[in-house]
Structure 1
Amino acid sequence: MVQPALRRTCLYTVLVIFGLMILLNCFTYPSSVSAATGKRVTRSAEFIKRYWTPDRMEHATPAGIPSKTGAPPHMIEPAPVKAQEVPPASYSSIPYAVIGKVFFTDSKTGFDYVCSGTAVISKNKSTVDTAGHCVAQDGSKDNYYTNWMFCPQYLDGDCPKGKWAARQLFADKTWLTASPMAVDHDYGAAVVEANNGQYLTDVVGGVAFGANLDRKQTFHALGYPHASPFNGKKMFECLADKAVDDTGTPPPLGISCDLTGGSSGGGWLVQSNGTWYVNGHNDYQYTNDPNTMYSPYYGNEALAIYNSAQAA
């Protein structure tokens, strides 16, 4: 028979261990849980869609690809990869069908801009993955952009699959608060309103969200480059292997690719066992190396943005 004193000692030991486990969990709670912030769009979807006239879409400025100064990391892939135009006949096929052009306004300056984005499979069927700098101004705390709209399969000024206005935008907290800009946390997402009772991925399809995948992948880097020598009217693709790791937390990765401003936020798509995933996006370059494109690594931080968006 267990003696009362021994029983009390065992019970005390269990309670202490349980308490320590609770404290340890508090101190080791994943940072990704608190990585995402969001802001609801106040303007109606109809207002946003009316705002983007053909003239405004044509004359919007490509959002500049952020530049990182200093010496770039050593490339292991010497041959530069040149972006190739995606044939318009392929636009309606996966993986290209999910890529689109993003339009938005910086309300602080009044200027209109363009980026790129990717429709992803999500609980709400309405989530677009993109770059943080296509959603909100870095270091601004809360300057989320306005008139945010997604045009999947954009071609020559036309939105053949409709104009999809955002109802909520998401960015990483570090991106919104850090100075200088934290390109390793340049994650963004948008949730768009339904069109005529239809949801985005029911109309154009979607790719899965790939987080914490192997860094060594062959990427289909897609988007709508607008800055010279491109004009933003057609979709382009760089097919390239992961070539280099940069510094950051987690470390971003780079590929050989010469896409320019306007392609920001366009998905880096990979295929595994017949399933397509978005596993990065066109994000930043080094000032003295315009032929290497970098993406923040899609780990727990990126997953937090995606999960917050798909639950909205």
Structure 2
Amino acid sequence: MKRTGISGMKFATTMRGKFGALTAVAVLMVMPTYGDHDAAAKNLTEAAPATAANARVGAIFKGDLDGGHFCTASVVHSSGRDLIVTAAHCLPADESEGGKAVFVPAYRDGAAPYGSWPVESVYADDSWNEDGDQDSDVAFAVLGPGTDGGKKVEDAVGAAQLFAGRATGQAVTITGYPGDAEEPQVCTNTSVAYGDTQQRIDCPDFPGGTSGSPWVVEGGAVAGVIGGYEFGGDDPDVSYSIVFGQHTKSLYKLAEAAGDPKPAAATSTAVSPQPAAAGESVTPDQLLTQSQSQSQSQTPTQATNRPITCACVLP
């Protein structure tokens, strides 16, 4: 839990429902690059420039800007245009849902240039919720209307795709908010494998508060978030992430279905398209074609028009 920036913050490893049985696959959308940084400047941490690309990364605050920021998140594309990704240990249900936490993209020096968005619901895997499994330390959060005229967060700052597979051996840029800093920090280095399910990167000075910082690969896709092993690592110079795979894609799809506007109602049988190869994006047309030819026995939870107050999914 070192990777959070507010000391004494409580973390729950239960609640937010039954996800383990659901196997729907996520639609991965190609979106513009973000995380501007010179990839040649490896293993060097510096202040991130205030660019439109970096605006898609933001700080998570407790309640409002007066509550202090304690984690980092980034905007990922969704049909509801209202989704962020972060570490699961950043947003336990009792400390986040229903506006208890807010996301502030491009936060800098006490200012919220695009406004702020309340966290309405949080989605994490059962293996995290029930057991605190460090191989499942990723979460998606649906945001409510922003303070700047009710705008959706993706309409305000844009979004990124997800990268399915290992980022190891590639140049990765991480951008995050240390708990004691008022501007984001950025570093680029080569990611390496850490066991079968995790990856690590050497970047100095990524202490508490940088949990949830996106790992951005060439082309702008998010291939991980600081978290996983020891909640992102107990050394500020070494950071970890889980490898995004089928469970992450399924979790993304579940969170996207809760967004607004709601997608069409699901059929009575869930589909299980063939996953893309590691690092490969799946287009909506490909997903549709695969879905029409395959099915399985699991039944997904159907979206409703009721406000989401709990990310509970019944088996």
TM-score higher than 0.5? yes
TM-score with structure 1 setting the length? 0.62
| 8 Å Cα contact 2:211-2:232 kept in structure 1 | no
**Higher-strand-fraction structure:** 1
SS in 2 for 1:310: helix
Offset of 1:133 from its aligned partner?
A: 0.7
Where do 1:130-149 residues align within 5 Å?
Answer: 130-136=86-92, 143=94, 145-146=96-97, 147-149=100-102
Report deviation, 1:285.
4.5
Asked if structure 1 preserves the Cα contact closer than 8 Å seen for 2:20 and 2:126, the reply is: no
Percentage of pairs with the same residue = 26
CA offset at residue 32 of structure 1? 7.4
Q: Quick one: distance in 2 between partners of 1:165 and 1:84?
A: 29
8 A contact 1:115–1:265 mirrored in 2: yes
- Deviation of residue 206 (structure 1)? 0.6
Q: Paired residues, what number?
A: 214
Mapping of 1:1-312 within 5 angstroms? 33=22, 81-88=43-50, 90=51, 92=52, 94=53, 96-104=54-62, 114-136=70-92, 143=94, 145-146=96-97, 147-178=100-131, 181-195=132-146, 196-212=149-165, 214-226=167-179, 231-243=180-192, 245-247=193-195, 251-258=197-204, 259-272=206-219, 276-283=220-227, 284-287=231-234, 289-312=235-258
Quote how far apart the aligned CAs of 1:194 are: 2.2
Q: Assess, with a 3 A threshold, how the Cα gap between structure 1 residues 171 and 104 changes in structure 2: closer, same or farther.
A: farther
Q: CA deviation at 1:151?
A: 0.2
Distance 1:233 1:32, change over 3 A: farther
The answer to whether the Cα contact below 8 Å between 1:103 and 1:113 also exists between their aligned partners in 2 is: yes
Counterpart-to-counterpart distance in 1, 2:22 and 2:173: 29
1:113 deviation in Å?
A: 5.4
RMSD between superposed Cα atoms in Å:
2.7
Q: Deviations over 1:107-146 (max 9, x none)?
A: xxxx97511000111111000010001111xxxxx64534
Structure 1: gaps (5+ residues): 1-29, 37-78, 106-110, 137-141
**Structure 1 contact 172–305 (Cα < 8 Å) conserved:** yes
What's the TM-score once normalised by structure 2's chain length? Answer: 0.62
| Cα distance in 2, alignment partners of residues 168 and 197 from structure 1 | 17
Kindly provide the CA deviation profile for residues 12-61 of structure 1, in whole angstroms up to 9, marking residues without a partner as x. Answer: xxxxxxxxxxxxxxxxxx9673699xxxxxxxxxxxxxxxxxxxxxxxxx
**Rg larger in structure:** 1
Q: 2:123 aligns to what SS in structure 1?
A: strand
Supply the distance in 2 between the matched residues of 1:295 and 1:198 (Cα, whole angstroms): 31
Give the AA of the match of 1:216: G
- 1:189 aligned counterpart, secondary structure: strand
The 2-side partners of 1:286 and 1:130 are apart by 15
1:115 is aligned with what amino acid?
A: C
